[in-house]
């Protein structure tokens, strides 16, 4: 099951990349995310591992596989119900940023039976989540960026 979504955020590409790539920020913008935390040490980048608890999905773990600041992010995740790989491409667009996200999901266990029914629901929930991400990002004060 694959989905793709685009969201335009009226913030500089560096800020959008930094905020989205640090999954601890999901606690601010993703209403179903609870207690998302960084498990690995050091700055966020390739190999960073996160864990969180999500309503209706339970515990999730994920790891950053590719990290090309501020243009590209690839993440592998797993939960009891599914495994997935997500990518995020960040493009500067005038005064803002367009994020193109993809998710390739592999339901596991009993969820494989429900997979044909889940596509529309997952895409709808992902779209709502990205709109919440956009609103949260655009409502935050500007962040000085240095890397």
131, part of any domain: yes
144, part of any domain: no
The Cα 112–Cα 142 span in angstroms is: 43
3-state per-residue secondary structure call for 71-92: CEEEEEEEECCEEEEEEEEEEE
40, part of any domain: yes
Cis peptide leading into residue 70 (ω within 30°): yes
Token pair in block for residue 60:
């999730």
147, part of any domain: no
130, part of any domain: yes
Contact 25, 124 (CB under 8 A): no
145, part of any domain: no
The Cα 79–Cα 115 span in angstroms is: 15
Please report how the helices 13-21 and 111-139 are oriented relative to each other, as an axis angle in degrees rounded to 10.
140
Q: What is the per-residue pLDDT across 55-94, written as a single tens digit (0 to 9) for each? A: 877 899 999 999 999 999 999 999 888 889 999 999 999 8
78, part of any domain: yes
**How many domains in the chain?**
1
Across the chain, the runs of DSSP E, i.e. the strands, are: 2-9, 33-38, 49-54, 58-68, 72-79, 82-93, 96-107
Which CATH number characterizes residue 54's domain?
Answer: 3.30.530.20
146, part of any domain: no
Q: Which structural domain, as residue segments, surrounds residue 45?
A: 2-139
Instruction: Write out the chain's pLDDT in tens, 147 residues.
Output: 788 889 999 999 999 999 999 999 999 998 888 899 999 999 999 999 999 998 877 899 999 999 999 999 999 999 888 889 999 999 999 889 999 999 887 877 656 566 556 655 666 676 777 888 999 999 877 665 544
């Amino acid at each position: 099951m694959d989905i793709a979504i685009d969201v335009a955020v009226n913030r500089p590409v560096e800020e959008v990349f930094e905020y989205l790539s640090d999954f601890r920020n999901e606690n601010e913008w993703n209403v179903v995310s609870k207690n998302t935390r960084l498990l690995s040490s050091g700055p966020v980048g390739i190999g960073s591992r996160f864990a969180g608890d999500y309503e209706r999905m339970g515990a999730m773990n994920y790891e950053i596989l590719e990290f090309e600041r501020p243009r590209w992010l690839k993440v592998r995740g797993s939960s009891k119900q599914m495994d997935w790989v997500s990518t995020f491409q960040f493009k500067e667009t005038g005064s803002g940023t367009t994020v193109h996200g993809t998710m390739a999901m592999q339901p596991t266990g009993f969820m494989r039976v429900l997979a044909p029914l889940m596509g529309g629901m997952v895409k709808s929930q992902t779209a709502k989540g990205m709109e919440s991400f956009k609103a949260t990002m655009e409502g935050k004060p500007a962040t000085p960026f240095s890397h």
